[in-house]
Structure 1
Amino acid sequence: MKKYLDKIGKNSKKASIKSVTTTKKNKVLIDFANLIKKNRTKIIYQNKKDQKYAIKKGIKNNMIERLILNSTRLKQIEKSVVKIANLKDPVDKTLLMWKRPNGLKIKKVTIPIGVIGIIYESRPNVTSDVSSLCFKSGNPVILKGGSEAFNSNKILVYLFKKALKKNSVDPNYVQLIENKSRKSVSYMLTKMSKYIDVIIPRGGKNLVKEVQKRSTVPYIGHLEGICHTYIDKFAKLEMAKKIIYNAKLRNTAICGATETVLFHEKIIKTFINPILSFLQKNGCEIYADDKIRKIYKGKLKIASPSDWSREYLGPKISVKVVQNTWEAINHINKYGTMHTDAIVTSKKSEAVLFVKNVKSSIAIHNSSTQFADGEEFGFGSEVGISTNKIPPRGPVGLNELVTYKYEVYGSGQIRK
Structure 2
Amino acid sequence: MNKFMNSIGIKSRKAFETNVDINIKNKVLNFYARLLDKEKKLILRENLKDIEFAKNKGIKENLINRLKIDEVKLRNIKNSINKISKLKDPVNITLKKWNRPNGLNIKRVTIPIGVIGVIFESRPNVTSDVAGLCFKSGNAVILKGGSEAINTNRILAKLFRKALKKNNVDENYIQFVDSKDRKMVDIMLSKMKKYIDVIIPRGGKKLVKRVQEFSVVPIIGHLEGLCHTFVDKDAELNMASDIIYNAKLRNTAICGATETILLHEKIVKKFCNPILKKLEDENCKIYGDNILKKYYKGKVYPAKEKNWSTEYLTAAVSVKVVKNSEEAINHINKYGTMHTDSIITKNKKTANKFLKNVKSSIAMHNTSTQFADGGEFGFGGEVGISTNTLPPRGPVGLEQLVSYKYEISSKGKIRE
TM category, shorter:
over 0.9
Helix, strand or coil for the counterpart of 2:266? helix
Instruction: In structure 1, give the amino acid aligned to 2:318.
Output: S
Whole-Å separation in 1 of the counterparts to 2:327 and 2:178? 50
1:254 aligned residue: 254
Helix, strand or coil for the counterpart of 2:97? strand
Alignment of 1:108-119 (within 5 A): 108-119=108-119
Identical-residue share of aligned pairs (%): 63
Instruction: In structure 2, give the amino acid aligned to 1:73.
Output: K
Alignment of 1:212-231 (within 5 A): 212-231=212-231
Whole-Å separation in 2 of the counterparts to 1:391 and 1:187? 26
Whole-Å separation in 2 of the counterparts to 1:156 and 1:210? 26
Instruction: Decide which moves more: 272-281 or 75-84.
Output: 272-281
Query: Is 2:124 the counterpart of 1:128?
Result: no
Deviation at 1:72, TM superposition (A): 2.5
Instruction: In structure 1, give the amino acid aligned to 2:343.
Output: I
In structure 2, runs of 5+ residues without a counterpart are none
* Aligned 8 A contact 2:63 2:253 in 1: no
Helix, strand or coil for the counterpart of 1:391? coil
Whole-Å separation in 2 of the counterparts to 1:156 and 1:315? 31
Whole-Å separation in 2 of the counterparts to 1:4 and 1:278? 53
Whole-Å separation in 2 of the counterparts to 1:49 and 1:313? 24
Query: Is 2:290 the counterpart of 1:290?
Result: yes
Instruction: Decide which moves more: 262-271 or 229-238.
Output: 262-271
Helix, strand or coil for the counterpart of 1:341? strand
1:38 aligned residue: 38
In structure 1, runs of 5+ residues without a counterpart are none
Deviation at 1:61, TM superposition (A): 2.4
Helix, strand or coil for the counterpart of 2:42? helix
Query: Is 2:142 the counterpart of 1:142?
Result: yes
CA separation of 1:38/1:315 partners in 2, compared to 1, >3 Å: closer, same or farther?
Answer: same
Deviations 1:354-392 (A, max 9, x none): 001110000000011111011111111100011000001
1:388 aligned residue: 388
Deviation at 1:54, TM superposition (A): 2.4
Query: Is 2:327 the counterpart of 1:343?
Result: no
Deviation at 1:141, TM superposition (A): 0.3
Whole-Å separation in 1 of the counterparts to 2:59 and 2:321? 38
Instruction: Decide which moves more: 275-284 or 402-411.
Output: 275-284
Instruction: In structure 2, give the amino acid aligned to 1:78.
Output: K
Whole-Å separation in 2 of the counterparts to 1:375 and 1:295? 39
Instruction: In structure 1, give the amino acid aligned to 2:141.
Output: V
Helix, strand or coil for the counterpart of 1:181? coil
Helix, strand or coil for the counterpart of 1:379? coil
Deviation at 1:36, TM superposition (A): 1.5
Whole-Å separation in 1 of the counterparts to 2:51 and 2:226? 30
Instruction: In structure 1, give the amino acid aligned to 2:42.
Output: K
CA separation of 1:270/1:125 partners in 2, compared to 1, >3 Å: closer, same or farther?
Answer: same
Instruction: Decide which moves more: 189-198 or 302-311.
Output: 302-311
Instruction: In structure 1, give the amino acid aligned to 2:173.
Output: Y
Whole-Å separation in 2 of the counterparts to 1:49 and 1:292? 45
Whole-Å separation in 1 of the counterparts to 2:308 and 2:198? 32
Query: Is 2:64 the counterpart of 1:64?
Result: yes
Helix, strand or coil for the counterpart of 1:118? strand
Whole-Å separation in 1 of the counterparts to 2:312 and 2:46? 32
Instruction: In structure 2, give the amino acid aligned to 1:397.
Output: G
Whole-Å separation in 1 of the counterparts to 2:92 and 2:240? 44
TM superposition outliers: structure 1 runs of 4+ over 3 Å: none
Instruction: Decide which moves more: 148-157 or 339-348.
Output: 148-157
Whole-Å separation in 2 of the counterparts to 1:308 and 1:131? 36
Whole-Å separation in 2 of the counterparts to 1:295 and 1:284? 18
* Aligned 8 A contact 2:62 2:314 in 1: no
CA separation of 1:107/1:256 partners in 2, compared to 1, >3 Å: closer, same or farther?
Answer: same
Query: Is 2:277 the counterpart of 1:277?
Result: yes
Helix, strand or coil for the counterpart of 1:4? helix
Deviation at 1:57, TM superposition (A): 2.6
Whole-Å separation in 2 of the counterparts to 1:192 and 1:337? 29
Alignment of 1:3-402 (within 5 A): 3-402=3-402
Deviation at 1:73, TM superposition (A): 2.2
Whole-Å separation in 2 of the counterparts to 1:18 and 1:164? 13
Whole-Å separation in 2 of the counterparts to 1:10 and 1:78? 30
Deviations 1:290-334 (A, max 9, x none): 222222222212211222111111111111121211111111111
1:411 aligned residue: 411
Instruction: Decide which moves more: 298-307 or 212-221.
Output: 298-307
Whole-Å separation in 1 of the counterparts to 2:161 and 2:410? 42
Whole-Å separation in 2 of the counterparts to 1:7 and 1:319? 51
Whole-Å separation in 2 of the counterparts to 1:285 and 1:149? 29
| Number of aligned residues | 416
Deviations 1:135-189 (A, max 9, x none): 0000000000112222222222121111111111111100011122111111111
Instruction: Decide which moves more: 380-389 or 303-312.
Output: 303-312
Whole-Å separation in 2 of the counterparts to 1:338 and 1:173? 32
Instruction: In structure 2, give the amino acid aligned to 1:127.
Output: T
